Structures are given as structure tokens and as C-alpha cells.
Amino acid sequence: MELYPLKVFLAVASEKSFSRAGEKLLRTQPAVSLAVQRLETQLGEKLIDRSGKDLLLTDAGRIVLDYARRFENLERELENALAELRDNSAGRLIVGANESTSLYLLQHIEKYRRLYPKVKVQVRRTLSSRIPAQLIDGDLELGVISYDPTDDRLQARVIYTDHLAFVVSPEHRFARRDSISISELGMETFVAHNVVSPYREVVLREFQRHKVMLNMDVEMPTVETIRLMVQRNEGVAFLPRMCVEQDLEKGLLKEVRVEELKVERKIRLVYPARRALSHAARAFLEVVGG
């Protein structure tokens, strides 16, 4: 059913006159009468009793009038919702990130929520390697990864440069030193993340190149559990610095520079190159870029 005949009928019923409805809608009286007749034909019901001098609605007409008013209210709500969306004050934003990049996103999400409190933000924790495919498939609108996706269907913007930090407990024998050699790490117990990443491979390669044993006797599923193990002096670890900044500031962990090992991580915000972004996503790009 077309909505225009309903609007015409609503105007006729409200004005109780075909001619006044035509003036309100900027239509001729015959055009208004024709629209109402078409609506009656579509519904298979007479809506207006034309036998008397005054314009009266039939029982069916009163039912249709009620729904016509509801449609008018829904249309107004739709217009208001779209206006809010264009002003970035409503809508939904879905961002994909792994555990460590989710922690980095917190500061930006806090700022974004202050600016656009009505936008529903959902951060989906997912493996970094899966994010490009999920963006292309439309399951995510934005993604945060620590490598270049090298796919012309995606655009990537570097938003932060991080590095892998070698961290120890304040009670550890290296805690008072600013730097150490990689050769001194052969006797250490490393608490490793059991998720495969490019940076784990870099660390393994550097230890092999320098012929130093890397004892990964403990593997944990999350960055949080690794941090806690190191804080308790149960081992040492390489972790993204952005994940341990607060621990370093509070003195719960100590970062020690490994002279032969400098691994930078460029955090990238990734999004589809050929698909239009929502107003909420464009606003998030501006917040992160600022």
C-alpha cells in the first residue's frame, strides 16, 4: 500500500472537507477525491459516507484513520531518528579488536561516548587475523589491528605507534637496570601469550639469531593473566607497552630495555575502502584522528 493516499485520507478526515484538504496538501479537489477512491479500492471498503451533507466516516474509515495517524507519527519518528543519526547523536558502531588493541581503544571510546552518548558502541573481541575478512564481509564497520592488511579493499590509518616491552617484577634481579643484553635472558622463565602473532615470531627469530635459549615454560590465554604472573615474579614477559602503561606508572611492573631487540607495533584503524561508512563510524574516525 502506498502511503500517499493514507496522507490524503488523513487530511480529508481531519479537515472534514475535500476542498480544504486539497488546499492543505496543495492539490486540486478532484486529485484529492481520486486518491481517496483509490485507497477505498485497495482496501475493498468504503471509508467515507457521501450520502449526507456533512462528511462522515464509516466504521472502516474510523479504523483506517487511526492507523493513518499512527503512520504519520512513525514517519515523524523516522525523520527525527535520521536527523539524530546525521548529527552523530544516535546509531550503532561495531569495532573489531583483539585483547591488547581493545585496551588501547578504551581512551578513545571514553572520549567518543562523551561527545555522542546516544551511539551504542560494541567492541567485538576477535583474532586480529580475522578482522580484515570480517570488515570485507560487513560483519564489522571498523577494525583495529597491529599490521598492514595489504588488501586494496581496505583502508588503513596508523593511529598509534607502540612497542613490545620487556617487563619484570619490581623484585626481579633486572628491576634496577635500565638495559640488558639478550644473552642475559637465557636463564629466564618467560610467560608467553598462547595466541600466535607476528611479534611472537619476531621475538623467537631474534633469540634464535643470537643463539639464546628462550624458555617459554608458561603460556597464558590473556594479557591480564600474564601481567599478574609477572607482577608476582613468576616469570618475565614481552608485552605491548600500551597494555602495561598503568602498571609501569604504579610501580607494579618495571620495563627493561633489551639492547638487541626493538620491535615497534603500528596500531592501525582499518575500514572498507569502497563501502560508505555510517555517520557514527565517520565520527569515530575524527575522534581517533584528533
The rounded distance, in Å, linking the Cα atoms of 54 and 52 is 6
Same domain as 141, residue 275: yes
Q: Mean pLDDT, to the nearest integer, of 140-156?
A: 91
pLDDT at 234 (0 to 100): 96
pLDDT exceeds 80 at position 266: yes
Q: What is the mean pLDDT of the chain?
A: 89
Strands 154-168 and 237-240: antiparallel
C-alpha cell at position 218: 608458561
Same domain? 140 vs 188: no
Is residue 265 within 8 A of residue 202, CB to CB? The reply is no
Same domain, 166 and 256: yes
Domain count, the chain: 3
pTM recorded for the entire structure: 0.63
The pLDDT, as a whole number, for residue 290 is 62
Comparing 197 with 62, the larger pLDDT belongs to 62
Answer yes or no: do 270 and 153 share one domain: yes
Query: Is 60 exceeded by the pLDDT of residue 233?
Result: yes
Residue 256's pLDDT band, with cuts at 50, 70 and 90, is very high
Residue with cell 616491552: 165
Residue 287 has pLDDT above 70, yes or no: yes
Examine the fold and report which residue of 56, 86, 116 is the final residue of a domain before the chain moves on.
86
pLDDT tens digit sequence for 79-111: 767 776 777 666 788 899 988 788 778 888 999
62 pLDDT above the threshold of 70: yes
Torsion of CA 236, 238, 243, 245, to 10 degrees: 70
Instruction: Indicate if 144 and 285 belong to the same structural domain.
Output: yes
Domain boundary among 31, 58, 86: 86
In angstroms, the first-to-last Cα distance of the chain is: 47
CB 99 within 8 A of CB 125: yes
Residue with cell 598462547: 194
CA atoms 110, 116, 118, 123: torsion sign: negative
Position 3 confidence tier, pLDDT thresholds 50, 70, 90: confident
* Share of residues in the chain with pLDDT > 90 (%): 53
Q: Average pLDDT for residues 180-209, to the nearest whole number? A: 89
Identity of residue 163? H
Read off the CATH number of the domain in which 202 is found: 3.40.190.290
Measured between alpha carbons, how far is 115 from 113 in angstroms, rounded to an integer?
5
255 with 166, same domain? yes
Structural domain containing residue 20: 3-86
Which CATH number belongs to the domain containing residue 132 in this structure? 3.40.190.10
Write down the pLDDT at residue 88: 65
Query: What is the CA angle 262-254-202, rounded to 5?
Result: 25
Residues 6+ apart with CB under 8 A from 191: 218, 219, 220, 226, 229, 230, 234, 235, 236, 237
Residue 89: predicted pLDDT = 64
